[in-house]
Amino acid sequence: MRDKYLSRMRHLLLGIMGCALFSLIGCVGQVTPEYKDAILTINKAIELDYLLYLPNSYSSERPWPLVLYLTGLETAGDIDLINQNGPPQAISEGLENDFFVLAPQLPGDVHWDAEALMALLMDIQSEYSIDPGRIYVTGFGDRGGYGCWDVATSYPGTFSKVAPISAPACTEICRVGDVSIRIYHGKIDQLVPLEDAENMRFELDYYCKADVELKVYEGMEHQIWDTVYADSEFWLWLTNSNPVRGGPGKKPLQKHFSTRLSREVEDNYLLYLPKQYEKNASWPLLIFLHGSGSAIEDIEKIRVGGPPKRFEDGMDSEFILLAPQLHANLPWDVERVLALIQKVSNDYNVDATRIYLTGLSRGGFGAWELAVSNPDMFAAVAPIAARDIPGVERLAKTNIWIFHGQDDDGVPWQGSQFMYNRLKHAGANVQLSLLEGVGHNAWDIAYNSEEFWLWLLSQNNENSEAGNAVN
């Protein structure tokens, strides 16, 4: 308690001394946060259509391997299209399979929901005899490849083999555990940078000591999955047996899975209110997601940088600042953050047309995910030093400013460049600042820029669904 008291007093003194630094935006004196916690209930309904291929000569008397196969928007509109790629195509064309293939259909223009996939998998395990030590996952493209990484890292110990194809990178990759991994990527992929695959291979090999290999296809762009799934070496690695082809084509079972999930979470957060705050007026809201490190264990560390420090140093901040604490050494859980935003919006008079989002490093990645999952919510989004993610085109109507250091040796800047390229092509109001001579810490320059704050706070959400997005 004494250490926390001293820390708060130190910040108070620094705020008083730092007031003169911010003449362009102004200075209103020291603003300190309220320390809060919330118990939140998260409910969601899961509806998934899927195809299920049973093994040849299936019998419940012994356990069988299972391959979870994830596609993307390519098949979201027609479940029969799943049969035109990957393991389903191979089986329908005569591949003799001594394993299950579970192929859910992506339920619209969304990311794969790892929790929903695990609920489906557990339902299959309750109905059929599945070998828990031989469950594999593979997926291709922007959505399916990333979904492969996401479900494998979200549920470590579930999958013994992981094969993402043309996939964006993910965070906290070592959570995947003791598995065998094969990564496939096109050399000239214009949708997802090759650097993502190279970075995943490096981290898995160097930090995680995993069994990992990366195969790069020279002269090929994003759509390499037909080549990968036609390769006998892929099937030999995945199934531990040489593929046998030429049998009669097999049709899958087509089924629907429906359930409801509910969980209760407890989150800590800092809340900064403007000095002039009045309940009767409506106020902009800025959500700040911190990065990895000591802030996960010590909420005081959130205050030492970024928007919280600017607020405490006396920036004339006529907005509410919400700074959640990451609940564990995990990626940001966008459902938890969304529930917290909804709570704060209900407790305070938040202007739904001026909700802003920013984050640094892991928090920048979380900002991307939260924004893409809720494209109607934010007037402006500013990810800093963040990895790229799938489906960024959903933010075509959002104002975005991306920051990245060109010398970042932890998170490749090419991911930010590709995000910019894709958003620009989608018609978004987006800008990218690649900072020369700057490593991973691009946030000090971004958050100390008066131009950034003037830009951010001038943005308005013109989407007609803005009010519904926070309810």
Q: Which of 260, 291, 306 is the last residue of a domain?
A: 260
What is the band of 294 on the pLDDT scale with cuts at 50, 70, 90? confident
Q: Are residues 100 and 189 in the same domain?
A: yes
For residue 309, give the nearest of 4, 21, 1, 38 by alpha carbon. Answer: 21
Domain-embedded: residue 430:
yes
Quick one: average pLDDT of 226-253? 90
Band (315; pLDDT cuts 50, 70, 90): confident
Considering the domain architecture, whether residues 245 and 343 belong to the same structural domain is answered as no
469 falls in which pLDDT band (50, 70, 90)? low
Measured CA to CA, the distance from residue 381 to residue 370 in angstroms comes to: 10
Residue 250: pLDDT over 90? no
The region of weakest confidence among 4-18, 25-39, 71-85, 262-276 is 4-18
Query: Residues 6 or more apart from 144 whose CB is under 8 A from it?
Result: 70, 71, 72, 106, 112, 165, 167
Q: Pick from 221, 236, 260: which residue ends a domain?
A: 260
User: Residue 305: which domain range?
Assistant: 2-30+273-469
Query: Does residue 277 have a pLDDT over 80?
Result: yes
β-strand pairing of 380-384 with 350-360: parallel
CB within 8 Å of 206: residues ≥ 6 apart: none
Identify whether residues 93 and 228 lie together within a single domain: yes
401 and 326 in one domain?
yes
Residues 203 and 291 reside in one and the same domain: no
Last residue of a domain, one of 201, 231, 260: 260
- Per the domain annotation, does 238 fall within a domain? yes
Same domain, 278 and 217: no
For residue 37, tell me if it sits in a domain. Answer: no
DSSP codes of every residue in 217-274: ETT--S--HHHHHT-HHHHHHHHSS-----S---PPEEEEEEEEEEEEEEEEEEEE--
Residues 391 and 364 in one domain: yes
Look at residue 267 and tell me if it is in a domain. no
Nearest to 122 by CA among 263, 305, 238, 259: 259
In a domain, 35, yes or no: no
Tokens for 135?
């469950």
Contact, 167 vs 392, CB < 8 A?
A: no
Q: How many domains does the chain have?
A: 2
Which is more confident, 82 or 465?
Answer: 82
d(CA 104, CA 253) in angstroms, rounded, equals 11
Q: Is the pLDDT of residue 316 over 80?
A: no
Position 84 in a domain: yes
Structure confidence by residue, pLDDT tens digits, 194-211: 999 999 999 999 999 999
- Rounded Cα–Cα distance for residues 84 and 403 (Å): 39
| Nearest C-alpha neighbor of 261 from the set 144, 120, 69 | 120
Structure tokens at 403: 């920051």
> What is the rounded CA–CA span in Å between residue 469 and residue 471?
6
The tokens for 308 are: 């919280």
Give the number of other Cβ atoms within 10 Å of residue 424's Cβ.
14
**Statement to judge: residues 293 and 169 lie in one domain:** no
pLDDT by residue (tens digit) across 376-425? 999 999 999 999 999 999 999 999 999 999 999 999 999 999 999 999 99
Digit-coded pLDDT (tens) for 108-130: 999 999 999 999 999 999 999 99
Contact 362, 376 (CB under 8 A): no
State whether 194 and 241 are in the same domain. Answer: yes
Whichever domain contains 187, its CATH number is 3.40.50.1820
CA-closest candidate to residue 438, choices 387, 396, 403, 394: 403
**Does a structural domain hold residue 213?**
yes
Beta bridge mates, 36: 269
Regarding whether 351 and 224 lie in a shared domain, the answer is no
Q: Please check whether residues 328 and 424 belong to one and the same domain.
A: yes
Both 223 and 320 in a single domain? no
pLDDT of 8 higher than 90:
no
- Of 144, 159, 163, nearest in space to 71 by CA: 144
Q: Does residue 38 lie in a domain region?
A: no
What interhelical angle do 194-206 and 414-426 show, nearest 10? 150
In this predicted structure, what is the pLDDT of residue 234?
Answer: 96
For residue 15, pLDDT beyond 50: no
